[in-house]
Amino acid sequence: MQWRRLTPRRNILSIKCSIILICFVHDAMTCNVNASWNEPMSTVKARLLVALSVLCFFLFAIAATGWLALGQAHRGMETVFKDRVVPLRDLKVVSDMFAVNIVDTTHKVRGGGETWENGLKSIDAALGEIATRWSAFMATSMNPQEKELANEAERHMGKARTAATTARALMQARDQAALDAFAVSTLYPSIDPVAAALGKLVDLQLKEAEAEYERTNMAYDTSRWILGIAVLLGVLAAAFAVTTTLFRVVGPLRAMAELMQRLAKGDLGITVDGTDRMDEVGTLARSLAVFKDSAVANRRMEEEQRQEQARKEARQALVEKYIVGFDNTVHATLKMLASAATEMRATAESMSSTAEETSRQASTVAAASEQATTNVQAVAEATEELSASITEIGRHVATSTSIAGNAVEEAARTDRTVQGLAEAGQKIGEVVGLIKAIADQTNLLALNATIEAARAGEAGKGFAVVASEVKSLANQTAKATEEIAAQIQTIQGVTTETVRAIKTIGGTIGEINGIATTIAAAVEEQGAATGEIARNVQQAAHGTTEVSGSIVQVHQAAVETGSAASQVLSSAEELSRQAETLRLEVERFLVNIRAA
C-alpha cells in the first residue's frame, strides 16, 4: 500500500486556478464594458451570453473549487486512515502479538494456566500474524525517519522471533524448567526492545497524522478564501450584468413596449428612436418603424377602400336602377307576349271551331248537293220519258187524253222537284256565303296571328310560318267558295229556266187536254221543248256534280283549316311556354346580376 499525502504542489495548483479565474472575469468584464455597439458583442444576445458565461464560469469555478477542496479533504482523510490509522493498527496488532500471544501465553503455560497445545497454537498464530502485519507495514512508503525506526524494529523483531521460536520448541518438548529459565533470561529481554521500537513508530505515526491534519486545515482555509473570492467576483459580475441589462436592454425594451401600445391604440404620430442600434433593440426599433409605416399605409389604404366602396355603392345603385328599369320593361314585354299568346290561343281555338263548323256545313252542303243531283237525274229521266211520251203521242193520238193527264201529273211532280232544286240551290248559296265568311274570318285571324308573331320576334318565327299557312288555306277556301257561288248562281239560273219550262209544259199539257185537235202541231213544239229541257237538265246535273266536287274541296279545306288551327294553337302554347321560360331566365339573370 502506497502512502498518499497532500503536498504544497496541490495548494499551488488551487492558487493558479484562482488566478486564471480572476483573469478570465476581468477580461470578460472588460470586453463587455469596452465593446462598441457596432461590434457583435453589442447585441443583447452577446451581452446575455457573456453574462451567463461569466456566471456559469463562476458557478463552475466555485463548484470546481469546492470539488477540489472536498477532494483534498477526502484525500487527507484517506491518507490519515490508510497511511496512519491502518499502520497504527498493524503496529498495534504486532505489538499485541508479541506482548499477549507470545509473552502472556508463555507466562500462562509456565504457570499451568494454559495447556501446552494451546500455547503452541497461540505462538504459531502470533508468528504468522506478526509476519503478515509487519510485511504490510514494510510495504508502505516511508520517510527516512520512519525507515530508520522500521529497520531498528526489524532488527529487534528478528531476535524476538528467534526467541519465540525457541520458546515454542521448549513448549513442544514440554520442558518446564528450561522454559522458565529461557523466558526469564532470554524471551522477555528480547521482546521488550521490540515494544519500545514499535512505540517509537506509533509516536511517529501520530505525529505525521497531526501534520496531515494541519495540512488539511491549511488547504481548507485556502479553499475557503478561493471560494469567498469566487463568490464575491460572481456577485460583482452578476450585479454588473444585471445593471447593464437594466440600463442597456430593459429600459429601451420598456420604451419600445410603450411605443407598441400607442401604435396598437392607433397613435401613428409616434417617433421611433434607436433604429441605428446594432443590437436586438435596434432590430426591434426598425421592425416597429416598419409596423408604423405599414399602419400608415394601411390607414391610407382603408381610406382609399372607403372611397372605392362609396364609388361601388353609387355604381351599384345606378346598376340597380338600370336593372329595375330593365326588369319592368322585360316583364311588360313578357306580359304583352303572354297576352298575345293568349289571344293567339283564343284565335286558334276560334279557327278550330270555325273549321269544324265549316266541315259540318260542307257535309250538309254535300248531302244537299247529292240530293240535288238525284233530283236533277230524276228530272232528266222524266224529260226522257216526256220525250218518249211525245213520240208516242204522235203514234197514239187516241190515247192523248190519258197521256195528257199523266203528263199533267208528271209536270206537277217535276214542278215540285224543280222547286226543291231551287230551294237546295238557295241553301247551297247560304252555305257558300257562310264558308266565305269563315274564310274571311280565318284570313283576318291569320293576319292577326302574323302581326303577333312579328311582335314576338325570334320566338314567334315558327308561329308566323303556321299563320302564313292558315292564311294561304283561307285564301284557297275563299277562292273555292267563290267558284261554288258562281256554280250555284248558274244552277239557280238553270233551275229558274227549268221552272219556267215546267210551267210551260203544264200549260201545254193543259192545252193538249183542251185542244186535242192541235196535238200534232203541239207534239212537234213539245219535242223541241223537251229537247231543250233535256239539255237544261243535263246542264243542271253537270252543275250539281261540280257543286258536289266543290263541296268536297270545301270540306277538305275546312279539315286543313282545322289542322292549321291546331298548329296555331300548339304554336301559341309553345309561345306561352317560351315566354314563361324567358321570364324565368330574365329573373335568374337579374338575381345573378344583383348578387354579383
- Judgement on whether residues 228 and 373 belong to the same structural domain of the protein: no
Does residue 285 lie in a domain region?
no
- Given a contact cutoff of 8 angstroms between Cβ atoms, the answer to whether 494 and 418 are in contact is no
Q: Which residue has the cell 316583364?
A: 331
Q: Report the domain count for the chain.
A: 2
- pLDDT for residue 31: 44
User: How many whole angstroms separate alpha carbon 337 and alpha carbon 18?
Assistant: 111
- Judgement on whether residues 130 and 235 belong to the same structural domain of the protein: yes
Residue 48 has a CB neighbour count (10 Å cut-off) of 15
- Given a contact cutoff of 8 angstroms between Cβ atoms, the answer to whether 526 and 379 are in contact is no
**Nine-digit cell string for 254:** 420598456
State the amino acid at position 140 in one-letter form.
T
Residue 474 has a CB neighbour count (10 Å cut-off) of 25
- pLDDT for residue 578: 76
User: How many whole angstroms separate alpha carbon 470 and alpha carbon 201?
Assistant: 156
- pLDDT for residue 236: 85
Q: Which residue has the cell 239557280?
A: 492
Round to the nearest angstrom and report the end-to-end CA distance of the chain.
Answer: 101
- Judgement on whether residues 241 and 102 belong to the same structural domain of the protein: yes
User: How many whole angstroms separate alpha carbon 388 and alpha carbon 407?
Assistant: 12
Which of the listed residues 261, 287, 316 is the one where a domain comes to its end?
A: 261
Domain of 200, in residue numbers: 8-261
Burial of 218 (0-12, 13-18, 19+ CB in 10 A): middle
- pLDDT for residue 360: 74
- Given a contact cutoff of 8 angstroms between Cβ atoms, the answer to whether 537 and 376 are in contact is yes
HSE, CB side, 13 Å, CA atoms: give it for residue 209.
17
Tell me the chain's radius of gyration from C-alpha atoms: 80
Q: What is the DSSP string of 397-412?
A: GGGHHHHHHHHHHHHH
Q: Which residue has the cell 291569320?
A: 446
User: How many whole angstroms separate alpha carbon 289 and alpha carbon 286?
Assistant: 5
CA-based nearest residue to 353, from 428, 442, 431:
442
Q: Which residue has the cell 326588369?
A: 327
User: How many whole angstroms separate alpha carbon 478 and alpha carbon 475?
Assistant: 5
Does residue 411 lie in a domain region?
yes
- pLDDT for residue 13: 46
User: How many whole angstroms separate alpha carbon 254 and alpha carbon 338?
Assistant: 79
User: How many whole angstroms separate alpha carbon 86 and alpha carbon 205?
Assistant: 10
| DSSP for residue 464 | H
Per-residue pLDDT of the chain (596 residues; tens, 9 = 90+): 333 344 444 444 445 445 554 554 445 444 444 433 344 445 666 666 776 777 777 677 777 766 766 666 556 555 555 555 667 777 777 877 887 778 877 888 887 888 888 888 888 888 888 888 887 777 777 778 878 887 887 888 888 888 888 888 888 888 888 888 888 888 878 888 887 878 788 777 778 777 777 877 787 788 778 878 878 887 887 788 778 767 776 777 787 788 888 878 877 778 777 777 777 777 877 887 887 788 888 888 888 898 888 888 888 888 777 777 777 776 777 677 677 667 767 766 776 676 677 667 667 766 766 775 676 576 567 657 766 765 765 566 556 567 656 656 766 776 676 576 667 667 767 766 776 677 677 777 767 767 876 777 776 666 567 667 767 766 776 776 677 677 667 766 766 776 676 677 667 666 756 655 665 566 567 667 666 766 765 776 676 677 567 666 766 766 776 676 677 677 767 767 777 787 787 677 777 766 76
- Judgement on whether residues 228 and 91 belong to the same structural domain of the protein: yes
Which of the listed residues 211, 229, 261 is the one where a domain comes to its end?
A: 261
Angle between helices 519-595 and 280-395 (to 10 degrees): 180
Residues with Cβ within 8 Å of residue 397, at least 6 apart in sequence:
516, 519, 520
- Judgement on whether residues 230 and 372 belong to the same structural domain of the protein: no
- Given a contact cutoff of 8 angstroms between Cβ atoms, the answer to whether 347 and 445 are in contact is yes
- Judgement on whether residues 24 and 141 belong to the same structural domain of the protein: yes
Does residue 441 lie in a domain region?
yes
Which of the listed residues 200, 233, 261 is the one where a domain comes to its end?
A: 261
Does residue 301 lie in a domain region?
no
- Given a contact cutoff of 8 angstroms between Cβ atoms, the answer to whether 279 and 37 are in contact is yes
- pLDDT for residue 8: 44
- Judgement on whether residues 14 and 155 belong to the same structural domain of the protein: yes
User: How many whole angstroms separate alpha carbon 201 and alpha carbon 26?
Assistant: 51
- Judgement on whether residues 253 and 390 belong to the same structural domain of the protein: no
- Given a contact cutoff of 8 angstroms between Cβ atoms, the answer to whether 91 and 201 are in contact is yes
User: How many whole angstroms separate alpha carbon 457 and alpha carbon 436?
Assistant: 32
Does residue 593 lie in a domain region?
no
Does residue 416 lie in a domain region?
yes
Q: What is the DSSP string of 156-222?
A: HHHHHHHHHHHHHHHHHHT-HHHHHHHIIIIIHHHHHHHHHHHHHHHHHHHHHHHHHHHHHHHHHHH
Backbone angles phi, psi at 576, to 5 degrees: -65, -45
- The CATH number of the domain holding residue 471 is 1.10.287
Does residue 205 lie in a domain region?
yes
- The CATH number of the domain holding residue 126 is 1.20.120.30
Does residue 496 lie in a domain region?
yes
**Nine-digit cell string for 309:** 366602396
- Judgement on whether residues 364 and 232 belong to the same structural domain of the protein: no
| DSSP for residue 397 | G
Burial of 449 (0-12, 13-18, 19+ CB in 10 A): buried
